[in-house]
Structure 1
Amino acid sequence: MAEASKAVDAAAAIAPAEDGTLNDMPLLPRERIWGFWQYSSVNIGLSVATWAFLQGAACSYYVGAREAIVSIVIGYAISVLLVSLAPCLPSAKYGVEQFILLRSAFGINGARIVMIVMSTLFAAAWAAVLAIMLGHGLVNLFNELFGLSLGHDGAAVSAIGVITIVVAWLVLARGPVSVERVSTVVAPVLIVILLGMGVLIFTKTSWTDLTHVPALAPDPDSHTSFTLAIELGIAGGFAWWPNLGNLARLTTSPRAAFWPNWLGVFLASVVAAVVGAFAALALQITEPTDWMIPLGGAVLGAIALAAIAFANLTAILSQGYGSMVALRSGGGALFRSLPWPVMGVIILGPAAVLVLFPAAVYENYGRFLSWGAIFVAPLCAIQIVDFFFLRKTSVDVRELYEPTKSSVYGFWRGFNVVSFVAIAAGAATYALLLDPISYVPSEWFPYLTASIPSFAVAGITYLLLTKLVTMRMGQGGYQT
């Protein structure tokens, strides 16, 4: 975990100080701390997280064991590739925070809106999901230890969820040092739990028997079920978008930022999700915290539940801290002037409300992922088209920090209207193929997925409108 400690030291150099000041300038080469193996170990530690178990459990609704492996691999491969290209490579090349780099595509004010929306929504949603999972785990632990019969949808889970959010806020209010102190042992513990789950699953059932277990709640059409499982994997990989660009900023080269994502985010997430799918199929239970006692017995199960509860708290801290740093660096003068504890309320306050409705939040995990993918798929497309195809991987870093009126990335009053039109086109395409509210797929969905067409439509729209409108009007600093 030495790399995690180094990461916190480096983060302290770029994170907000208690007085609200901030150094969000590009990192110089000597300030980069991660090579290939260091960044890989960091990604593995982040990816072997409790939400990966939930991802696998969601997949088990639609497919059996063999199809789960294939769909998880395909889904994560697509989204990890796209997220590795954008925002990882641009951030690694220039040492610039990913939300600041968004100014080249969205304009200075437009990027600020994207950053605020994505940071707050992702942080609140994930914090709520993790807090509710922690509540489920502690309820199971209390039931086992004290002979209680507390349910997963009752007031106990909500109360534990609210307490978790408050504790997370208290830790975050003290700054990044507190985050480091409670995060140093999480990854090894989760890896041990993951490996132990894999061993225990196959001591209770054989591979042959497992492959004959049907999906838990499949679509009547097997092709649609398989594509839904792939879409879950794509959306799950896109959920890393708010974090990976800023992590890649600390790498020594674009190559060191790209390939570790495959060893870390891709491979580790796939293994964890596959184990989660196997557990859900073998036990016929989709709640990850319900697996531990049946798999490990009372003692080992209770230890695993306690470890998962602690891991969920640290995951909330990591998500919350990253979002708070992003808001302070790119949210404008208002966020820079707010005290650190108030920033914690802005990020975690909505989560405290969501945990009051545990069933509504937790039972709609697939919809939650869709609401992320419906925006992140077009975002990745715009970033890739803008950076690789229109700017030929060249961004004027100095102009990223200039005032709106004088910067070439000012566009129209700080907004690039074209990028928002492309986002809307991509989001509409997604919704037509997979309704994010009802989660009902269209007749074309089994052949296309929703994220891939959304990505393609947004990218093509952005490319054409930039060439036909933005460049002809001399906006955006493009070389013609």
Structure 2
Amino acid sequence: MSATRPASGSAASLAGLPLLRGERVWGFWSFTGVSTGLAIATWAFLTGGSIALFVGAKAAIAVTVVGNLVGVVLVVLTTCLPSAKYGVEQFGALRSVFGRNGVRLLLMLLMPFLLATWNAVLAIMFGRALANVSNAVLGTDLREDSPLVIGFCLLALAACWLLLLRGPLSLGRVNGLIAPALALVTLVMLVLILREHGPADLAALAPLAPAGLPVLDYTTALEICLGAGFSWWAITGNLARLTTTPRVAFWPNIIGLFGASTVAGLVGTFAALAFGSSDPTTWMVPVGGAVLGGIALLFVAFANITSIMGQTYSGALAVQRLHGAVQRLPWSVLAALLLLPATVMVFFPGGVYELFFRFLALVSLIVAPLCAVYFADYHLLRRRTLHLRDLYNDDAESRYGFWLGVNPAAFASVAAGALTYLLLLNPVTFASSPLFPYLTASLPAFAVTAVVHVVLTKAVVRPLNKGGY
């Protein structure tokens, strides 16, 4: 490890070496603000709107609470605790699971899909929100795919890039301003919806596009919520790395990623049931009126920028593992390159937006097994102990060298989990097996992955003295 450390808080200090306790910038309340700002982006409202396609208000409350809680807790236990304990970025710690070259392969396959799609969804929501504010307040008639809306999307990505130039501290500062206001706006929207449509009225409203079989509709909605919970896997570890203790990493995520996103999701569900649209940018003005609804849309729009920032910052730390040349790129260039795929996707807003709940299912297909293999490796096999020096040593000198820097057992376990998911649910067509309504797809995929990884490691990897188990 280098004896010279860059100044705390700079972009350079937050890549590569583990962070010392004094270099970590987020305590309990600041990280709660970051988590809350990430959670109450319009993806929470859009997830809630997707739930309204399948179930009514009563069932929505149950699936939203259970799905988000299970997904978020599993993700936080898996990614945040090791990163906060050791100060390492998530994909650096994953070397202990997949090996150095295995992590590179994972990044090449994973990051373009997840980062680009999430950023594009958020930017498109930003553009549609500003368009609806203009239509409500200024009397314009902007279409959802008009060139001006696409321009708003590009503006969101450009603003995110400019803010990222100031490093992770700017993310905390922006969230410190946005998160409280956004939480208040969300609660106000909930009160207005309940005032206009009381609990009895909401409970009587039918779902927007149910399959017709109640147990299947219920489990489909639960699967979407599990996907929303698991979707945090790719970014939470790198953000938790900046927290002062593992406890500070855990509880603010429960408050933000579970609590705040659950409330925002239910607001999205209730509004979608009441106004017939799963798009949150279309119902805020009818709920709150031109002034209050416009203000709410503006807050939600700008919260999307903080979410794009959080994802892109975390993604930047991850892709630096690909090659030394990536680590040498200026921070401004790296951030711009990571935002480029989303910049292309926002020119096709309709296709990205309409496939949102299918995207959540695809996230579960990929991320639930990834979460499970990391969980099993860190908590069950390594007993929550990592050896920092070996995470950074060359493969020949590291206990995490495996076979040429790849752990085939981890990839086989993930493949077994993904196959389990596909046997239960097709994430594109949503065709399901007879077992899906009683099992979900994400939870069996998680369980199968964990069991296969433990068995393969104990039967093959450990006896061959690979992986430092």
**Is the structural similarity TM-score above 0.5?**
yes
1:470 aligns with 2:465: no
Of 401, 421, 432, which residue of structure 1 is paired with 2:423?
A: 432
| Aligned Cα root-mean-square deviation (Å) | 2.4
1:139 aligns with 2:134: no
Aligned residues of 2:33 and 2:179 also touching (Cα < 8 A): no
Q: How does 1:389-468 map to 2 (within 5 A)?
A: 389-468=380-459
Give per-residue Cα distances to partners, 1:296-347, cap 9 Å, x unaligned.
Answer: 111222222222222222322222222123323x233021122223212321
Aligned residues of 2:34 and 2:175 also touching (Cα < 8 A): no
- In 2: Cα distance, 1:386 partner to 1:335 partner: 28
Give per-residue Cα distances to partners, 1:272-293, cap 9 Å, x unaligned.
Answer: 1111111111222211111121
- How far has the Cα of 1:30 moved from its partner? 4.2
- How far has the Cα of 1:476 moved from its partner? 0.6
1:270 aligns with 2:265: no
Match of 1:16 in 2: 11
Of 273, 278, 289, which residue of structure 2 is paired with 1:286?
A: 278
- How far has the Cα of 1:248 moved from its partner? 2.6
Match of 2:154 in 1: 162
Please report the TM-score for the alignment, with normalisation by the length of structure 2: 0.92
- In 1: Cα distance, 2:168 partner to 2:35 partner: 19
Match of 1:331 in 2: 322
1:386 aligns with 2:391: no
Structure 1 stretch 62-71 or stretch 368-377: which is displaced more?
368-377
Aligned residues of 2:421 and 2:442 also touching (Cα < 8 A): yes
Match of 2:240 in 1: 248
Paired residue type of 2:429: S
- How far has the Cα of 1:153 moved from its partner? 3.6
Aligned CA distance change for structure 1 residues 23 and 129 (closer, same or farther; 3 Å):
closer
Match of 2:3 in 1: none
1:88 aligns with 2:88: no
Alignment size in residue pairs: 465
1:373 aligns with 2:354: no
- In 1: Cα distance, 2:180 partner to 2:209 partner: 33
Q: How does 1:52-131 map to 2 (within 5 A)?
A: 52-131=44-123
Aligned CA distance change for structure 1 residues 454 and 331 (closer, same or farther; 3 Å):
same
Paired residue type of 1:234: L
Of 160, 171, 181, which residue of structure 2 is paired with 1:189?
A: 181
Partner of 2:400, secondary structure, is helix
Unaligned runs of 5+ in 1: 1-10
- In 1: Cα distance, 2:427 partner to 2:46 partner: 19
Match of 1:220 in 2: 212
Unaligned runs of 5+ in 2: 1-5
Identity %: 46
1:238 aligns with 2:230: yes
Aligned residues of 1:14 and 1:23 also touching (Cα < 8 A): no
- How far has the Cα of 1:34 moved from its partner? 5.0
Aligned residues of 1:433 and 1:445 also touching (Cα < 8 A): yes
Aligned CA distance change for structure 1 residues 355 and 37 (closer, same or farther; 3 Å):
closer
1:50 aligns with 2:62: no
1:350 aligns with 2:341: yes
Give per-residue Cα distances to partners, 1:375-406, cap 9 Å, x unaligned.
Answer: 21111111111112211222212111101222
Aligned residues of 2:54 and 2:209 also touching (Cα < 8 A): yes
Please report the TM-score for the alignment, with normalisation by the length of structure 1: 0.90
Aligned residues of 1:157 and 1:358 also touching (Cα < 8 A): no
Aligned residues of 2:9 and 2:25 also touching (Cα < 8 A): no
Aligned CA distance change for structure 1 residues 12 and 241 (closer, same or farther; 3 Å):
farther
